[in-house]
Amino acid sequence: MKAIVADYVLDVNGLKKDVAVLIEGDIIVNIISSKNIGEFDVDEVYGGKGYLLIPGLANAHTHVAMNRFRGFGDDMPLDKWLNDVIWPMEKEWNEEEIYKWALIGIAEAIANGSTTINDHYFFAWQIAKAAKKLGVRAFIGQTMMDLVDMPIADPKLGFKFFEKWKDKDSLINATLAPHATDTVSKDLLMETKELAEKKEALIHMHVSQSREEVLRVKEREGLSPVEYLKNTGTLKANFIGVHGIYLSKEEVKLYAKSNATLVHCPVSLAKLEGYVGPILDIWKLGGKIALGNDCAVSNNSMDMILEMKFAAILNKVKNNNPIMPTAKDVFYWATLGGAKALNLKAGLIENGYLADLVLINTRKLHFLPRENMLSHLVYSAKGSDVEKVFVGGELIYDNGKFLKTDELRKILDIE
Ligand SMILES: [Zn+2]
C-alpha cells in the first residue's frame, strides 16, 4: 500500500490537516491521521511536511499538439486567426511532428498539475500514443469536419479512431469529436449522436465560440447553436460543449437544464474574442461547468492553476460582481466539474475515488501565512508549485522529471 502524507489535504468538500491518504492499486482506500501511519501495511511513503495534496486537475478542453504554434497569431480576431494562421499551418502536420508536440503539450499539462486531459485534435492516434507514453489519463477525440475542406478532419478518420480505441485501455478513452456547430453538417451530427448513444460515448464539441459561428448556424438551421443542439437531441449528459460565449438568455436556460457540461476556457476566449460568456448565469441556474485551457496558442500556457484564477477574476469583471464565482466555485470546475463531465470517479480525495492526485510544495513565500489554503491555491499558487503528480496511484511526474519516459529529456536537450 502507498501513502501520501501532507500537512493539508484539500478538495471541494473542505480541508483536512496532518493526513495520510492510503492507496491500493489505483484507488484511495483510506484517509487517516498521519501519526497513525505505522498501524498500516505501508511500503511506499510520499510527501511529508510542507505539502498540500489536491485532486489532480482535469483540463476538460485542450488541443495539446498546438503547443507547436505558441506565439503565432497573437492579438488577432478568431476567424482571421483560424483561417489565416492556424488552419494553413495545420495542413502541414505530419504524424511524427504531431506525436512530438502532443508529448510536449501533455508534459506541460502534467507538470502544472493536470492528471486528466480531454483532447480534441487531428491524428488522435498519435496523441493517444503520447498520452500513453507519459501516463496521463486522457480522453481523446479525432476532430471531424465536413463543411470545411480539411482532409485531416475527414469524419471517417474520427469514427475509425473511436472504434479502435473505445474501451481498449484503462487510461485512454476515445470520444467523438465533431468540430463545431458551424463546421459540421446536421447529417454528421446525427450520425455522431446515434453512435454515441449506441456505444455510451462522450461527444466533445465547440459551441458558439464566435459571432460568425452563431450567424452561420442561424442561416443554415434557422436556430441558434444551443437551440439547434437541443432540437437534434444532442444536448444531454454525454455532451461536452466548449466555450458557449455567445448565448441568448433562452440558450443559457436550455443549457443549464440540459445535464450537458459546458467547458469554460476563460483565458483563451478572452484572448481570441475579448469576451467572457454567460458561464456564471449557467452555473447559478444549476448547470454543469468544467474548465479547460483550450491550447497553448490561444492561452498561451497549459497551467490549470492559473486558469482557476483567471476564471474567478474574469467572471467577476464580466458580472461586475466580486462575490462570484468564489475560489471554491472555480476549484470545483477544475476538479469535480471535469470529473463529472467525463464520468470519472475522481476529483475528490475520498475512499473509493481514483488516486489521481497532486502534491504541491507550500514552502514558498506566496503560500504564507498558510491560513487559507483554498485561497492560496486559487489566487496565489502557480503551476510551477506542483512537485509530484500521481495518476491511478502511480507517480508519473516528480520535480521536473517525467518518470515513464526519457523522451522529454531528449527534446529539451537535458543530459
Ligand atoms: Zn478548442
pLDDT digits (tens, 9 = 90+) for 332-378: 999 999 999 999 999 999 999 999 999 999 999 999 999 999 999 99
The Å distance, Cα 293 to ligand 1 centre, comes to 9
SS3 content of the chain, % helix, strand, coil (to 5): 40, 25, 35
- Our separate counts of H helices and E strands in the chain read 16, 16
Residue 170 CA, distance from chain mean position = 18
Q: Identify whether residues 126 and 234 lie together within a single domain.
A: yes
**Residue 415, pLDDT above cutoff 70:** no
Q: Identify whether residues 380 and 314 lie together within a single domain.
A: no
The Å distance, Cα 267 to ligand 1 centre, comes to 12
pLDDT at 410 (0 to 100): 83
Cross-strand pairs, 140: 119, 174
The Å distance, Cα 121 to ligand 1 centre, comes to 9
Pure H helices in 26-115: 78-80, 87-90, 95-111
The Å distance, Cα 141 to ligand 1 centre, comes to 12
Q: Is residue 225 part of a domain?
A: yes
Q: Identify whether residues 170 and 276 lie together within a single domain.
A: yes
Mean pLDDT across the chain: 96
Q: Identify whether residues 260 and 382 lie together within a single domain.
A: no
The Å distance, Cα 374 to ligand 1 centre, comes to 28
CB 374 within 8 A of CB 347: no
The Å distance, Cα 265 to ligand 1 centre, comes to 9
The Å distance, Cα 373 to ligand 1 centre, comes to 31
pLDDT at 247 (0 to 100): 97
Picking from 225, 333, 217, the residue whose alpha carbon sits closest to that of residue 279 is: 333
The Å distance, Cα 156 to ligand 1 centre, comes to 20
Cα distance between residue 397 and residue 85, in whole Å: 34
**Residue 414, pLDDT above cutoff 70:** no
**Residue 87, pLDDT above cutoff 90:** no
- Region for residue 47 given its phi and psi (left: phi exceeds 0; alpha: psi -120 to 50; beta: otherwise): left
Q: Identify whether residues 256 and 386 lie together within a single domain.
A: no
The Å distance, Cα 159 to ligand 1 centre, comes to 19
The Å distance, Cα 295 to ligand 1 centre, comes to 7
The Å distance, Cα 64 to ligand 1 centre, comes to 10
The Å distance, Cα 294 to ligand 1 centre, comes to 5
Which pLDDT band holds residue 78 (cuts at 50, 70, 90)?
Answer: confident
Q: Identify whether residues 264 and 326 lie together within a single domain.
A: yes
Cα distance between residue 407 and residue 322, in whole Å: 45
The Å distance, Cα 61 to ligand 1 centre, comes to 6
Cα distance between residue 158 and residue 160, in whole Å: 5
Domain finish residue from 341, 362, 386:
341
The Å distance, Cα 176 to ligand 1 centre, comes to 14
Q: Is residue 238 part of a domain?
A: yes
Q: Identify whether residues 287 and 402 lie together within a single domain.
A: no
Beta-strand ranges (E) seen in 77-136 are 114-121
**Residue 181, pLDDT above cutoff 90:** yes
Cross-strand pairs, 119: 62, 140
Q: Is residue 141 part of a domain?
A: yes
Q: Identify whether residues 33 and 107 lie together within a single domain.
A: no
Q: Is residue 373 part of a domain?
A: yes
Q: Identify whether residues 68 and 25 lie together within a single domain.
A: no
Q: Is residue 413 part of a domain?
A: no
**Residue 391, pLDDT above cutoff 90:** yes
Q: Identify whether residues 244 and 329 lie together within a single domain.
A: yes
The Å distance, Cα 180 to ligand 1 centre, comes to 9
The Å distance, Cα 389 to ligand 1 centre, comes to 25
The Å distance, Cα 242 to ligand 1 centre, comes to 7
pLDDT at 412 (0 to 100): 79
pLDDT digits (tens, 9 = 90+) for 288-325: 999 999 999 999 999 999 999 999 999 999 999 999 99
Cα distance between residue 158 and residue 154, in whole Å: 7
The Å distance, Cα 43 to ligand 1 centre, comes to 42
The Å distance, Cα 70 to ligand 1 centre, comes to 14
Q: Identify whether residues 50 and 66 lie together within a single domain.
A: no
Q: Is residue 320 part of a domain?
A: yes
Cα distance between residue 84 and residue 238, in whole Å: 33
Domain finish residue from 312, 341, 370:
341
The Å distance, Cα 120 to ligand 1 centre, comes to 7
What residues have their beta carbon closer than 5 A to ion ligand 1?
294
pLDDT at 408 (0 to 100): 87
Report the pLDDT averaged over residues 221-249. Answer: 97
CATH number for the domain that contains residue 368: 2.30.40.10
Q: Is residue 256 part of a domain?
A: yes
pLDDT digits (tens, 9 = 90+) for 7-64: 999 999 999 999 999 999 999 999 999 999 999 999 999 999 999 999 999 999 999 9
The Å distance, Cα 142 to ligand 1 centre, comes to 12
**Residue 171, pLDDT above cutoff 90:** yes
The Å distance, Cα 323 to ligand 1 centre, comes to 29
CATH number for the domain that contains residue 307: 3.20.20.140
Quote the domain boundaries for residue 333.
57-341
Domain finish residue from 301, 316, 341:
341
Gap between the terminal Cα atoms of the chain = 33
Specify the pTM.
0.97
Q: Is residue 178 part of a domain?
A: yes
Q: How many domains does the chain have?
A: 2
Q: Within a 10 A sphere around the Cβ of 54, how many other Cβ atoms?
A: 27
Cell numbers for 138, please give them.
Answer: 486522457
- Region for residue 205 given its phi and psi (left: phi exceeds 0; alpha: psi -120 to 50; beta: otherwise): beta
Q: Give the neighbor-by-neighbor strand order of the sheet with 27-33.
A: 27-33, 14-24, 2-11, 44-55, 357-361, 386-391, 394-398, 401-402
pLDDT at 343 (0 to 100): 97
Q: Identify whether residues 222 and 259 lie together within a single domain.
A: yes
Cell numbers for 133, please give them.
Answer: 507514453
